[in-house]
Amino acid sequence: MKKKIDKINDLLISYFGIPFRAKKLPDPTDTLIATILSQNTNDKNSFQAFTNLKKKFKFWQDLAMATQKSIENIIRVAGLGKQKSGTIKNLLELMTEKNGKYDLSHLSEMDDDKIIDELTSINGIGVKTASCVLLFSFGRNVCPVDTHVHRTLNRIGLVKTNSPEKTFYLINEHLPDGIAHQFHTNLIKLGREICKPGKPNCSICPLLKNCKFEQKNFTLSKGIRQNSFLLLDSI
Ligand code: SF4
């Protein structure tokens, strides 16, 4: 499995390049809040909602004092305002209960599994969100699995699973050192631009020769757009 992942990673790099990575890793609370905002919307809308919050509240303790309704209004552009504002409130409450401050830096001392356990104990935070904190804020070699990553890895045939969570544990068990960020980011680009949920554009895919998907599509759909804006490398 490790060799296969390496091969796929190399092919993706030869097509998409090595993805941009912010030099300064974002604060874990920022990553967590941005990832909560990104659920069921695109990166541009969630970035807008995140920017709105940052403009309105200089520090996260100020956000903790705000009413859920006012948070809901500020993040409206990202959709699911009621649910997301509730999760953000839960998160901030739990942070003060556990640490007495709005800060998650203590997690950096823990191993990956412990951080996932700690974060997923918060209502509304799942494995994907927790793993984004591991990769983007703590620089761990962990590849988060969203719907794009799950779909493409299954189509290629690297895994055969029926949920992103199962894909996450399987792929991360075999992930070669130091490739998590590039592998994750390029799989998202592949899923957005080429291996789309409906009809994949197999004729332009860099993984064509290595892909086991049986329903390949060779009719090139119109309007292929590059979409390289990635929220968690931009906050
Ligand atoms: S060959 Fe087609 S199905 Fe396979 S990864 Fe590429 S776009 Fe997706």
pLDDT digits (tens, 9 = 90+) for 198-226: 899 999 999 999 999 999 999 877 655 66
Q: Of the spans 20-24, 81-85, 90-94, which averages the highest pLDDT?
A: 81-85
CA of residue 4 to ligand 1 center, whole Å: 15
The residues annotated with a catalytic role in the active site are 128
C-alpha separations of 120 from 127, 130, 149, 206 in Å: 6, 7, 20, 35
| Residue ranges around ligand 1 (CB below 6 Å) | 152, 155-156, 194-195, 200-202, 205, 207-208, 211, 213, 216
- Pocket probe for ligand 1: among 11, 15, 156, 196, the residue whose CB has the most ligand atoms within 8 Å is 156
What are the structural domains of the chain? Answer: 2-20+143-233 (1.10.1670.10), 28-137 (1.10.340.30)
Q: Model pTM greater than 0.75?
A: yes
DSSP string over 87-141: HHHHHHHHHHHHHSSS--GGGGGS-HHHHHHHHHTSTT--HHHHHHIIIIIT--S
CA of residue 222 to ligand 1 center, whole Å: 17
What pLDDT digit, counting tens, does each position of 145-168 carry?
999 999 999 999 999 999 999 999
Backbone angles phi, psi at 191, to 5 degrees: -65, -35
Read off the tokens for 25. 């890793």
Whether 146 and 128 have beta carbons less than 8 Å apart is answered as yes
Length of the chain: 235
Helix/strand/coil percentages in the chain, nearest 5: 60, 0, 40
Q: What single letter denotes the amino acid at residue 115?
A: I
